[in-house]
Amino acid sequence: TMMVVPHEMGFAKEVADVVVVMDGGGIIESGPPEVIFSQPTQERTRSFLQAVLTRA
């Protein structure tokens, strides 16, 4: 088992078996990367991904 805290979402999407999204010190969403990146259930996750994935 290994935990990595990446700042590059492409890397996380490629190598992770499970992605965990935290906000305010707590876990707000977790699941397989293909689900978290394509169908996040939490608004905070959607906002975060939109912000980091659309950066130029």
Scanning 1-56, the segments in alpha helix (DSSP H) are 9-15, 33-38, 43-53
Taking residues 28-40, report their average pLDDT. 97
pLDDT given at position 22: 94
Confidence check: pLDDT of 56 > 60: no
Higher pLDDT: 19 or 2? It is 19
Tell me how far apart the alpha carbons of residues 19 and 4 are, in angstroms, rounded to a whole number.
10
